[in-house]
Amino acid sequence: MANGHGIGLHGGCGTQAQALMSEAEWAEARTHLADALRAGWRILAGGGRALDAVEAAIVVMEDSVYFNAGYGAALNASGAHELEASIMDGATLACGAVAGTKRVKNPIRAARAVMEKSPSVMMATSTADAFAERCGLDMVANSYFTTERRVKALAALRQRAKDGNAAAATEADKHGTVGAVACDANGHLAAGTSTGGFNNKPVGRIGDSPIIGAGTYARDGVCAISGTGQGELFIRHAAAYDVAARMMYARQSLTQATDALVHETFGALKVGAGVVAIDGTGRVVAPYNTLGMYRGWIMADGRIVVATHAEEHVMGTVG
Ligand code: ASP
């Protein structure tokens, strides 16, 4: 990566079949991924912190209709949004997370506030919202997050449940998440993840995204990683930490460690999963085992690469 810094992101492994969205919509989703990369890159290129780059990239994806985080997030079984996010600083292992928030516009900012403005690592539900409000973050009505796409998805899943074929729902029907990882010019790593969980999730359910070591992990000199896929499995396998442990103790490379998690561990269990991860040299990997995964990174020569399915698209270069 240029100047040793780098950034990568994912927008969830619950990507739908290409035929289910128009080419104009796919193109717009790709543009939003590129915008998120640029937002993070601007900070890194200006000598800023990996942590700030991760937050900036995730805010762009939270504000996009295409991803299951912030605006456009999944609806739970009661037709409401309960959002989750976490962020971790690889330099200090400081971290923060929120779960079950309903009113904070950008949950990743609330996670960052928990990390920096409270003695806690995680806050949940209305307490987390109230804390975010006290910190001066933008607050919205829960209905702000609702989009037609998610209303339709919830109705389709409820129908499937009634018909007794809920198991046949596609990855895209079910879930999605956004995440970003970055390495700054000082070699510091950071990771963050934000999600609405999955459509029709039980009220009060908390997944892996706000759990440090499951959906998010960062440690300088090792890796920063954010996951997407069925959260319960990511928690059971301590997935994000498992990748770091493979690198630290088994001396696996970033590619070996992430492939082992996604293709061996989750592949064998037939669990749809994906991750984006970066090492201390700024190298990004983004393996997944589903039909597609929204993802992107910036190459050493400055090319911005994004993808939703197998094909990769170059979206210009950074200066
Ligand atoms: N990991 C998320 C969750 O279980 C969902 C996803 O990434 O698709 O809440």
Catalytic residues: 177
Q: How far is CA 162 from CA 156, 158, 205, in A?
A: 10, 6, 21
Amino acid identity at 293: M
Q: Would you say the CB of residue 290 lies under 6 angstroms from ligand 1? A: no
Supply the residue whose CA is at minimum distance from atom 4 of ligand 1.
231
Distance CA 240, CA 225 (A): 6
Which atom number of ligand 1 is nearest to the Cα of residue 234?
1
With the most atoms of ligand 1 within 8 angstroms of its CB, the residue from 10, 150, 230, 233 to mutate is 230
| Full pLDDT tens readout for the chain, 319 residues | 345 789 999 999 988 788 888 999 999 999 999 999 999 999 999 999 999 999 999 999 999 999 999 999 999 999 999 999 999 999 999 999 999 999 999 999 999 999 999 999 999 999 999 999 999 999 999 999 999 988 888 888 888 778 877 666 666 666 689 999 999 999 999 999 999 999 999 999 999 999 999 999 999 999 999 999 999 999 999 999 999 999 999 999 999 999 999 999 999 999 999 999 999 999 999 999 999 999 999 988 899 999 999 999 999 999 7
Q: Would you say the CB of residue 12 lies under 6 angstroms from ligand 1? A: yes
Q: Do 177 and 280 touch, CB atoms closer than 8 A?
A: no
Q: Would you say the CB of residue 216 lies under 6 angstroms from ligand 1? A: no
Supply the residue whose CA is at minimum distance from atom 7 of ligand 1.
228
Tell me the two tokens of residue 124.
């949940």
226 Cα to the center of ligand 1, angstroms: 11
Q: Would you say the CB of residue 146 lies under 6 angstroms from ligand 1? A: no
Q: Are strands 273-278 and 303-307 parallel, antiparallel or unpaired?
A: unpaired
pLDDT at position 173: 64
pLDDT at position 189: 98
Contacts for 251 with CB less than 8 Å, ≥ 6 apart? none
Could you say which DSSP state residue 267 is in? Answer: H
210 Cα to the center of ligand 1, angstroms: 10
Q: Which domains does the chain have, with CATH numbers?
A: 2-94+149-317 (3.60.20.30)
pLDDT at position 172: 61
207 Cα to the center of ligand 1, angstroms: 6
* Of residues 230, 215, 256, the one with CA closest to residue 167: 230
68 Cα to the center of ligand 1, angstroms: 9
Q: What is the pTM of this model?
A: 0.96
213 Cα to the center of ligand 1, angstroms: 14
Q: How far is CA 246 from CA 149, 192, 241, 257, in A?
A: 39, 20, 8, 6
pLDDT at position 1: 39
